[in-house]
């Protein structure tokens, strides 16, 4: 009988521990695994802030921001939630599903397409930002503009150009092909790309630097038209641009090992001189400057397009305050403080990744020589929408950009361009239906 009672008690204790384990986290619990705002016992408000770390966005940089805000705003504590993994939207979706959505999110664009995830931004806060930076979803403004990022140019080793007898940066498509040919003749590998698990890195340079310009030159309202079904991804403008890219691969201009390099490896190989050119992101320029690389060693130019289209695009970035946040006023106060309210902090945030302010009163910072050259290359270049990164009602369906990056890898490895683009239409319609 005693044993039976003991067994019963043990079973109850297991049940109880399960119930405790499955219960929602109590307010004020450790935010390192996510969690929402809480009122701590000492009266302070604690807000959780989802961020990510890279070589440019370091833990030290985030901590400087937190320390500055807490010093200027006693009573509000910020707890950092590190978004791990290779997909920030996936991380946030998982947190949302688990009921642990952080109060303030960096990179919330993907989730913002769904109504009710983010709180509406107060109008007086939005008034501080450029009109072009305001994103609208079904008439609602749920995102705080954070910055705009230039996309990419072609970086090149000046000594390799010199050795190949190239005296000027290419301005036309024919000149670009001529540069590639001269480099090949001089025994050099013209271009680097990346692959392995960094699917985005294979086509990033070509798509944002060339194809985007060519599409926008012919269809300035491409996103609106493709979303309405007035255009197809099989449009000859897109197909011809991708065939031109495939032509560069077929001609042997790309490094043979490109597809086995991660992005970091590819950049490192390029810097070591494995190739003469690399269509890399704007974020690379400040890191090259910080590494002490000089404009005598490395230059950059806007990649010419086969059709002669000439434009550049920027990627807008935002912050969002979760609808589940218990202290929205304080959360928006934090957004305002970092994103322009404290210019030194905003400057630190922008300069870390080489991005640009979106406040009506521009916040500027001293740029290194390579970044300065990068920016000045766009002096006479018109700005257009980046198709895949457009936000608000003209945004692409969730997952479509990832799909196209994979398909563009197929193009890079020899798949038929027209066949691939037909699949884009099918996938686009499927995802649009889910959106």
Closest by alpha carbon to 419, among 247, 241, 234, 237?
234
Q: 49 — phi, psi (to 5°)?
A: -135, 115
Binding flag, residue 335, other proteins (CB under 8 A): no
What CA dihedral angle connects 93, 94, 97 and 101, to 10 degrees? Answer: -70
| H helices present in 39-193, as ranges | 59-72, 88-97, 109-112, 123-126, 158-163, 173-185
Instruction: Report, in Å, the least distance between residue 423 CB and other proteins.
Output: 7
CA distance 419 to 435: 25
- Listed in order, strand segments (DSSP E) in 100-216 are 104-106, 144-150, 152-157, 191-192
Binding flag, residue 50, other proteins (CB under 8 A): no
Q: Near other proteins by CB under 8 A, which window of 7-15, 34-42, 231-239, 372-380?
A: 7-15
> Among 86, 178, 185, 418, which residue sits at the site for other proteins (rule: CB under 8 A)?
86
Q: Near other proteins by CB under 8 A, which window of 111-119, 120-128, 180-188, 343-351?
A: 111-119
Q: Near other proteins by CB under 8 A, which window of 83-91, 140-148, 230-238, 243-251?
A: 83-91
Kindly give, in sequence order, each residue whose CB lies less than 8 Å from that of residue 431, ignoring residues fewer than 6 positions away: 397, 398, 399, 400, 403
Binding flag, residue 435, other proteins (CB under 8 A): yes
* # binding residues, other proteins (CB under 8 A): 57
**Tokens standing for residue 93:** 């979706």
Burial string for 300-333 (b: 16+ CB within 10 Å, else e) reads bbbbbbbbebebbbbbbbbbbbbebbbbbebbbb
> Among 208, 258, 311, 355, which residue sits at the site for other proteins (rule: CB under 8 A)?
258
> Among 29, 56, 94, 377, which residue sits at the site for other proteins (rule: CB under 8 A)?
94
> Among 50, 66, 111, 215, which residue sits at the site for other proteins (rule: CB under 8 A)?
111
Within 413-432, which residues bind other proteins (CB under 8 A)? 413, 415, 423, 427, 431
The three-state secondary structure class of 197 is coil
Question: Smaller CB distance to other proteins: residue 10 or 59?
Answer: 10
> Among 103, 107, 214, 269, which residue sits at the site for other proteins (rule: CB under 8 A)?
269
Binding flag, residue 377, other proteins (CB under 8 A): no
- Residue 288: its H or E element: helix 284-290
Binding flag, residue 20, other proteins (CB under 8 A): no
Binding flag, residue 393, other proteins (CB under 8 A): no
Binding flag, residue 114, other proteins (CB under 8 A): yes
> Among 263, 412, 424, 428, which residue sits at the site for other proteins (rule: CB under 8 A)?
412
Binding flag, residue 195, other proteins (CB under 8 A): yes
**Tokens standing for residue 14:** 């297991």
Q: 142 — phi, psi (to 5°)?
A: -110, 5
Binding flag, residue 56, other proteins (CB under 8 A): no
**Tokens standing for residue 385:** 């929408």
**Tokens standing for residue 27:** 């307010």
Q: Near other proteins by CB under 8 A, which window of 135-143, 163-171, 235-243, 261-269?
A: 261-269
Question: Smaller CB distance to other proteins: residue 118 or 288?
Answer: 118
Strand partners of residue 301: 154
The three-state secondary structure class of 361 is coil
Catalog residues that contact other proteins under the rule CB under 8 A.
3-4, 7-8, 10-11, 14-15, 18, 22, 86-87, 89-90, 93-94, 96-97, 111, 114-117, 195-199, 202, 255-262, 265, 269, 274, 397-399, 402-403, 406-407, 409-410, 412-413, 415, 423, 427, 431, 434-435
């Amino acid at each position: 009988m005693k044993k039976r009672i003991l067994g019963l008690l043990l079973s109850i204790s297991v049940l109880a521990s399960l119930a405790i384990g499955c219960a929602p986290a109590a307010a004020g619990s450790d935010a390192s695994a996510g969690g929402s705002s809480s009122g701590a016992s000492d009266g302070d408000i604690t807000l959780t802030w989802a961020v990510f770390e890279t070589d440019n966005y370091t833990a030290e940089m985030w901590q400087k921001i937190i320390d500055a805000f807490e010093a200027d705003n006693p009573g509000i504590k910020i707890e950092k939630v590190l978004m791990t993994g290779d997909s920030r939207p996936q991380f946030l979706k998982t947190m949302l599903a688990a009921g642990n959505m952080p109060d303030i999110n960096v990179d919330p664009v993907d989730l913002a397409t769904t109504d009710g995830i983010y709180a509406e931004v107060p109008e007086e806060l939005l008034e501080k930002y450029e009109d072009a930076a305001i994103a609208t979803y079904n008439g609602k403004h749920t995102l705080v503009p954070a910055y705009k990022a230039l996309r990419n140019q072609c970086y090149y080793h000046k000594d390799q150009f010199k050795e190949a007898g190239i005296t000027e940066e290419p301005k036309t498509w024919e000149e670009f092909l001529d540069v590639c040919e001269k480099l090949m003749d001089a025994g050099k590998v013209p271009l680097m790309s990346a692959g392995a698990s960094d699917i985005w890195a294979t086509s990033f340079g070509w798509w944002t630097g060339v194809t985007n310009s060519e599409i926008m030159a012919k269809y300035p309202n491409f996103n609106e038209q493709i979303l309405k079904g007035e255009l197809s991804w099989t449009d000859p403008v897109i197909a011809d641009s991708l065939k031109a890219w495939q032509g560069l691969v077929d001609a042997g201009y790309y490094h043979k090992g490109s597809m086995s390099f991660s992005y970091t490896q590819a950049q490192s190989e390029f810097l070591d001189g494995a190739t003469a050119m690399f269509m890399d992101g704007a974020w690379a320029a400040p890191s090259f400057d910080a590494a002490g690389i000089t404009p005598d060693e490395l230059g950059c130019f806007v990649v010419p397009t086969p059709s002669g289209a000439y434009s550049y695009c920027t990627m807008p970035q935002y912050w969002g305050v979760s609808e589940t946040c218990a202290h929205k006023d304080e959360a928006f106060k934090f957004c305002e403080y970092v994103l322009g309210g404290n210019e030194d902090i905003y400057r630190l945030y922008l300069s870390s990744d080489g991005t640009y302010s979106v406040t009506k009163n521009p916040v500027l910072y001293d740029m290194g020589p390579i970044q300065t050259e990068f920016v000045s290359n766009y002096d006479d270049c018109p700005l257009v929408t980046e198709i895949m990164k457009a936000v608000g009602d003209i945004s692409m369906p969730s997952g479509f950009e990832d799909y196209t990056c994979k398909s563009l890898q197929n193009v890079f490895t020899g798949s038929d361009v027209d066949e691939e683009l037909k699949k884009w239409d099918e996938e686009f319609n499927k995802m649009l239906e889910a959106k």
